[in-house]
Amino acid sequence: MSKLVKLVLALTTMATAFIFIFIGNVEAKSLTVSGLDKNNVIKAKPSSVSEGFDYYTIKGKANKNQTVYLLADEDGNDPKDYQVWDKVKADKKGNFSFETSSANNSKAVYYVSTDKKLKNKEDDDIFNVKKIKQKVKVILPANTQNKEEASESSEKSDEIDVSKFEDMNYTEYLRNPKQYEKKMVKFTGVVAQYDDANSRMLVAFNGDPDQLVYVGLAKSVNTDQRFLDGDNVTLYGSFRGVNPYSTNDGRDNYVPWVYVIKVDNQGQ
């Protein structure tokens, strides 16, 4: 091999390594969120108010056409209890945005991330957000309400305004889940299966075993008394889309999924 050929190969190898390092650095530094102060608190005022909650628009830039994830702990800010709350694809200029709400009585800590390992996370998978790379913390102020109301609601978690929840139409929500995502809903049913360890259950909508709803229970739900199969319950929560569960014969069956923050258990 001539010295010229060796020199060309060496230069090509160096250039490839340089490009790899450069792209790697761009990947790590490409994610930004605009409109945050030095403490990562969003500076803009709420973009809208709905059902008693302040909604904010989180905007930023990533690589073009890159998938961007919004991470949250729906029942607090525990780093070990985060989920994929939403995801969008950045446009051709790398712009992306999320519309999300504040929390009652305390700040809400979200993370925006482009970590590729999130691609394999199901919507209800719980993980430690500290293990997620390429992320930006975004803090939303506590939901605006007068101090007396905030104090009372923090002391009594049962005092949830049930008038803000709409009756869920099983077929309509199952057919058009995107249209109703994050909607505050209520429904009655019968507990078909309760997973005590993971605070999850399958509920027969209006007692119909052919219309099951997948339910995740918030930490605020009183589970001092266990739920039993056959319990008649009324549930209040946010509709999160559809979720698969495995039937006895190994098939995946897709049903509505509701994250429940209040349960009225009438027993059997």
Residue-wise pLDDT for 24-69, tens only, equals: 333 435 899 999 999 999 998 887 766 556 788 899 999 999 999 9
Sequence-ordered list of residues with C-beta below 8 angstroms from that of 243, at least 6 positions apart, any chain: 122, 123, 124, 214, 254, 255, 256, 257
Which pLDDT band holds residue 217 (cuts at 50, 70, 90)? confident
Sequence-ordered list of residues with C-beta below 8 angstroms from that of 246, at least 6 positions apart, any chain: 252, 253
pLDDT for 103 equals 67
238-243: average pLDDT: 88
pLDDT for 96 equals 94
114 vs 141, which has greater pLDDT?
114
240 pLDDT more than 60: yes
pTM assigned to the model: 0.56
